[in-house]
Amino acid sequence: EAKLRTIQRKEKEAQGLAKPSNHVGNLDNYVFDRDGVIKFVESLPNDKPPIMRQIAINFKIKHKNGNVPENGGQIISNFLQVSKVDLDRFGGQTERKRLRIRKKKRRESIHWESLLFHRLMKNW
């Protein structure tokens, strides 16, 4: 069902019947060195993808009112796509995978230990 909705939404966007979703808003609302960002990203090597959040911090991206946006990486990424900078040359995501550390189940063991303790104390 969700895949069907996505396909329909993409078709409407391609036909111009619907606006594509945008998490950034108008790029004119942000102040940063646009030419510097483009030159910096084009000078990067192809072997690993850039960290967009770090680029946003380095180029001091801000709203017109002076606030630093939390989604600076998305803003930089969207700006580079609009500016027709080839981001596909960096490949996909980084190769490292996040490992989820398994947490120990404590509730059951504590529960049984406390029951055993109370039974032993009653029989004492």
Give pLDDT tens digits along the chain (124 positions).
Answer: 889 999 999 999 888 888 877 778 888 888 888 889 889 888 888 877 888 888 888 888 988 888 888 888 888 888 888 888 877 777 765 555 666 777 665 555 555 566 666 666 666 5
Clarify whether residues 99 and 58 are in a common domain: no
Clarify whether residues 42 and 66 are in a common domain: yes
Does the model's pTM come out above 0.95?
no
Clarify whether residues 98 and 77 are in a common domain: no
CA pair distance 107, 21, nearest whole angstrom: 43
How many domains in the chain?
2
Instruction: Say which residues have a Cβ less than 8 Å from residue 49's Cβ, sequence separation at least 6.
Output: 87, 90, 91, 92, 93, 94
